[in-house]
Amino acid sequence: MTLVPGDRVHVRMTKWVERPHWEFDATYLGDDEHGTWLGLPRGTQMLRPGAEYVSPTDQLGLVPPVGRPESERGWFATFHGPGGPLSVYVDVVAPPTWDGPTVAAVDLDLDVVRELDGTVWVDDEDEFAEHQVELDYPPEVVMAARASCDRLVREISSAAPPYDGAALPWFEVLRSLRPGHHRR
């Protein structure tokens, strides 16, 4: 299936062993060397069991390109637009997969966050440690998640692409599409 700008994409995040997590719809914006860019206009509703989040500002999702080695694809990035509570939030995940207009990924707890002042930190290390035991993460999953997290901290801290402003033109693409306009 070929997506065109404005098409609806469903994002389905699960936790280990297919436990439901965040789900939401986004707008396909396009692809570049960094991956597939998705638009989440202000007001986008994101749901997970027992929780709801409505984006207070425009956001962009970035899915790593399928052609990259698996070892470089263990993330799903969210870039917050002006007025957002932070700059960048990257989920460490098992490499995302596409099935038509649906992208799915298994969230592996760790998150790399860049605050508005540029501070970079890792969230949910305690949850990651607990789930290694409770959910019996295989050793190769633990190693891949930790390697992905460490690489993301380095890249985001040094403002390596795409954490160097590469998202800015994609906010313009999102704004150019009619709010709420999704094609099937």
Tens of pLDDT, residues 12-64: 999 998 899 999 999 999 999 999 999 999 999 999 999 999 999 999 999 99
Domain range list for the chain: 8-174
Is 181 or 124 the better-scoring residue by pLDDT? 124
Tens of pLDDT, residues 85-130: 999 999 999 999 999 999 999 999 999 999 999 999 999 999 999 9
pLDDT at 2 over 60: yes
Q: How remote is the C-alpha of 73 from its chain's centroid?
A: 11
| pLDDT number for residue 184 | 46
Across the range 151-179, mean pLDDT stands at 93
| pLDDT number for residue 178 | 59
- The structure tokens listed for 43 are 């007001």
| pLDDT number for residue 179 | 52
- The structure tokens listed for 66 are 């399928």
Contact in structure between 86 and 116 (CB atoms under 8 Å): yes
- Cα–Cα distance, 70 to 95 (Å, whole number): 6
Fold of domain 8-174:
FomD barrel-like fold (2.40.380)
| pLDDT number for residue 1 | 65
| pLDDT number for residue 14 | 97
Contact in structure between 16 and 108 (CB atoms under 8 Å): yes
| pLDDT number for residue 17 | 85
Distances (CA, A) of 152 to 31, 42, 119, 148: 20, 26, 13, 6
Tens of pLDDT, residues 159-172: 999 999 999 999 99
| pLDDT number for residue 181 | 46
Q: What is the residue-wise DSSP string for 67-124?
A: TS-GGG--EEEEEE-TT-S-SEEEEEESPPEEETTEEEEEEEEEEEEE-TTS-EEEE-
Long-range residue pairs from 65-73, CB within 8 A, at least 24 positions apart, any chain: 65/31, 65/33, 65/34, 65/35, 65/36, 66/98, 70/95, 71/144, 71/147, 71/148, 72/151
